[in-house]
Amino acid sequence: MKNIIKLAMVGGLLAASLGSAGAQVFQTNLVMKLNISGTGFVQSSDGVVTRTRFTTKDALNRIASAQSITLERRAKLIFELPQGTSDDTVSVGPPVVSLQNGADIIALGDNFNLFQTDGSATVSAVRGRTETDYGNWRVSFATTDVSFEAQGFATFTKTTGSRTSGHAKINFAGDGSVNGKTAVVSGTVSTSGNTTEAVEIQ
pLDDT for 73-128, tens place per residue?
A: 999 999 999 888 888 888 888 899 999 999 999 999 889 999 999 999 999 999 99
Total structural domains in the chain? 1
Compute the CA torsion angle 11, 13, 18, 20 (nearest 10 deg): 160
Q: Is residue 8 part of a domain?
A: no
Query: Is residue 5 predicted with pLDDT exceeding 80?
Result: no
Q: Is residue 13 part of a domain?
A: no
Radius of gyration for the chain, computed over Cα atoms and rounded to the nearest angstrom: 22
Domain containing residue 54? 25-200
Query: Cα(71)–Cα(86) distance, rounded to whole angstroms?
Result: 34
Instruction: Annotate 6-25 with DSSP letters as a single string.
Output: HHHHHHHHHHHHHHHHT---
Q: Is residue 10 part of a domain?
A: no
Q: Is residue 2 part of a domain?
A: no
Predicted TM-score (pTM) of the model is 0.83
Q: What is the mean pLDDT of the chain?
A: 88
Buried residues in 60-75 as b, exposed as e (16+ CB within 10 A): bebbbebeeeebeeeb
Query: Is residue 159 predicted with pLDDT exceeding 60?
Result: yes
Vertex 108, ends 80 and 175: CA angle to 5°? 100
Q: Is residue 46 part of a domain?
A: yes
Query: Is residue 36 predicted with pLDDT exceeding 80?
Result: yes
